[in-house]
Structures are given as structure tokens and as C-alpha cells.
Structure 1
Amino acid sequence: MRRPVPCRIAVCRDCCCGTAKVTGVDHAEQVRRLSEVAEVRVTPCLLVCEQANVIVVQPSSEGRAAGGRPVWFGLVNDAMATEDIAVWVRAGGPGVADLPDILTLYVFTPPRGVRTRRSRTSR
């Protein structure tokens, strides 16, 4: 019997995200806080630098079965946004918990080539 797979979070940390280019953000604290609610993988550049800091929440196995898909968040540059993401993931994330209205301000759709390349490298 398979164990359920929880939500996973990818946090971009490369040329723009997670660097001094995005000022006023405690980048280490952002990763630490998200790590409290899900497995966090720090990734190289996700090729959407204009959206720095980028966080991608992958659905759990339950969420995927319910139709949940990865949610890309951009411009996550304050502690409250990080906290809102953490609370949503703890509630179940994509496919399980409704996305709070405040988080819709951060959601974006990456260019198709980025999504395709990203999905191939995350397996």
C-alpha cells in the first residue's frame, strides 16, 4: 500500500530570487517557515526572474487526485505572503484547500516552455 505524498514546495534561489537583488526579505527565514509545513526543495533559476521571489506549490497525492495542479506564486517578498502560503499548504494546498483570496494576488502562470522544462526536471 502506498503512503500518501504530501504537498511539496520548490523555492527558487539563484540569480534573482533569494538574493540581495530582492531587498528587505529574510530569504533564509522564508525557506525555514515553509519547511515547517512541507518538504522544500531549493531550486536553481526557474526562468521567471521578473517574478522574484518565486515559490511553486506542488499538490499532494490527494490534491492531484482531486484535480489540483502546481500553483506558481511570484513576488513573494514579505513575511505575510509566506505565512499565507504556509497556512494554505498546511490546510491541504492545491486540490484540497481553497486558495485564499489574498494569495490570488501572487499567482501567475509561467510561460509554457518554463512549465514544460520545469516538470521534466522535477521528476
Structure 2
Amino acid sequence: MRERDDVPGLTACSLCAGETLDGTDPLPGGQAERLRRLADTGAARLTWVECLDECERGDVVVARPAGRCRRAGAAPVWFERLAGEDLTSSLGTWLRAGGPGAASVPSALGGLVVDRAEPVEGTA
């Protein structure tokens, strides 16, 4: 088992989990269950929050760097519309490889990354 400092975190919105699948998810418990299973395998430390203030994006999850990567300057990676077996599997593979700061975002998830960079005032 990996040391806690080597395990990335995952924050998910409990209100929008599964929203992208619009009631078509065949898994009992839906996307929330997929994320719980991911955490149960040790891929990430899962934290549920009621809102990430990105409601229009649905199925918002934030991959947080493991402690050692965070201390090296890695930033969290925000994803939108991340739901379903294939995308969650890609997320799990990436998190097991170390996640933010340790491995590149897989191409399957690249189009789901939310640009959280805020423009510097006066430089648009």
C-alpha cells in the first residue's frame, strides 16, 4: 500500500455527480459509486463537497496532487463532465501513476480539463 504522502486527493461535487449521464447510468449508485470504488482501491483520497461553484460544468472533480508533488509545486487539476466507466477508469489509471505533478493528464481526459487560470488584471 502506498504511503499517504504518495496518494493524490480527489474532490468531487456530491450535487452534480452523475449529472452528465442524465439518468442513463446503469451502475447502482452511479458516478458517486465509481468514485468511491476508486478511493477504495487506494488510487486517491476522496473528499465530497456540496458544491465546487462550477454548476454549469456538471460532474466536476478536482484531482489534488499528493503531498510530495504539492510541495514540489504541482497544482490541482479540475475536470468537467467526468463521468462513466471509461473516463473514470482513465482517471484512476492516472491517479495510480501519481496524478498531478507526477504524470501527464491522459489524452482521454485532456478535453475535460477546466482552465482555472485567472487573467491578471489589465492583461486580457
TM-score range, shorter chain: 0.7 to 0.9
Contact 1:62/1:96 (<8 A) preserved: no
Q: Cα 1:19–1:5, aligned 2, differ >3 Å: closer, same or farther? A: same
For residues 84 and 61 of structure 2, the distance between their equivalents in structure 1, rounded to whole angstroms, comes to 13
Indicate the residue corresponding to 1:120 in structure 2.
none
- Percent same amino acid among aligned pairs? 32
For residues 19 and 44 of structure 2, the distance between their equivalents in structure 1, rounded to whole angstroms, comes to 25
Letter matched to residue 62 of structure 2: V
Coordinate RMSD, CA, aligned: 2.1
Q: Cα 1:93–1:19, aligned 2, differ >3 Å: closer, same or farther? A: closer
- How far is 1:31 from its partner? 2.0
Q: Normalization by structure 1: what TM-score?
A: 0.76
Give structure 1 regions of 4+ aligned residues with deviation exceeding 4 angstroms.
none
Indicate the residue corresponding to 2:7 in structure 1.
6
Q: Normalization by structure 2: what TM-score?
A: 0.75
- How far is 1:61 from its partner? 1.5
- How far is 1:27 from its partner? 2.2
Q: If you compute each CA radius of gyration, which structure gives the higher value, 1 or 2?
A: 2
Letter matched to residue 24 of structure 1: T
In structure 2, the gaps of 5 or more residues are 119-124
Aligned residues: 108
